[in-house]
Structure 1
């Protein structure tokens, strides 16, 4: 069974920091990031929200889990209820900006990322790079066309902002820093925090024609032929109501990204952008392009699982 998504994936922990008098930049650049399972009672009063920078509680405070086996989570303290924070809500809404200047500043500060598409073509393999090792391409982000972004609610107005053609690998790199940024993905009208755009494959039960960003836990992977140009089937953990769920890629491309029999892929998290389609008696995401899938570095597993 999939776990409930944590709206606050991690907290900042820092001794001596005060939300009323100290700098949020100091907190975000110098504090330790902790997940609920790393919390200790001595941290009480010293953990803060990564979005609004107010104090958090760990619930439950002392036990490692609830009596029903539900795992602990972070929650805002009631004394800060007047401070707006979209991580309080279980039904996140799209981000809108009050002015062109606000939106442009968010893009320049890398708080807002507008993706017009993902890199489609497989880059050439450098001669000095072993084929079994994936190395990121020198150019990860390309300039995309101007993209429409909505202004504040009820105005009905839009503005054009610069966009990127990027890769899921670029999202996986420094994943903890990207998780709370606002992303506007292709075919989505409003930017949302990355954490709210990630869909757990274990919760998927039917086909979906709208491309989304999914994550799954790899169970097994197999080249269905004898050459690198054949299809590689990578099965991931799925919902109990689904027979199986497979990500179908070209073996050569998957191999360059570290998905093949010679490495222990089982248990690794894969991020993939695409549509969910019917596949035999199960479901699948088929033929994602070069920039549409990647393995998440293992050090970030705890932010999703």
Structure 2
């Protein structure tokens, strides 16, 4: 059983539509895929409508968080998308994305990059605009070779020359909100230091004490030694460990199913969740409803 619990579509900063993503997941030989767009569940309904027989969809989102001045991401699975408090917090984060993008564009222009809002908006399409869209514009302009090359201190990494903070949820509050909505929380790529500063293990221990369910261990931004360390930490803290691709379509080099989650861990996630259930594929004819 092959399970990928972290992917993105055009509902946020991926390049595949939700329908293309689930069809691609089936073609890649996955049995389970989670759609975890940034701070939104807007792609779930399309993904469910297109879900092929033999593939199960886990509904979720990747929540933007910050603590102690350090940005981090919290994967939330199988929560009730209509729960009012969590919905309101996601909307606060999404609403701040446009002014933040404008501010980063202004900083890039001050640094000599001839980037404009129209270009970034075209790349983002109907997705929630974010740094990857700005990075893609920089690739188009020949400023950097790849999207990843834009996520450095020179440009868009946390604290970088063109970085601008956005509204972000306190991770302890995120855990509380997701739990109240019947969901399960997993700290995404907790040691991805290339993206910027990461929290110390003591913060992960505090998050575990606050109800964090797991940490994402097997991820493209974690080298083998880091994975060993995180797995040992998870064992000490009684946390689940997941693996996933963090797929963004053509915007990143990772492929669907590059890293996967153990079926027993997936089973435990589904057992803990009460806000929603995994959706089994029905050959593109599933008409289940999910929230915005």
Question: Between Structure 1 and Structure 2, whose CA radius of gyration is higher?
Answer: 1
Provide TM-score, normalisation by structure 1.
0.25
Question: Using CA pairs below 8 Å that are at least 6 residues apart, which structure has the higher relative contact order?
Answer: 2
Question: What is the TM-score of this pair, normalised by structure 2?
Answer: 0.25
Q: Which has the higher strand share?
A: 1
Which protein is richer in helix relative to its size?
2
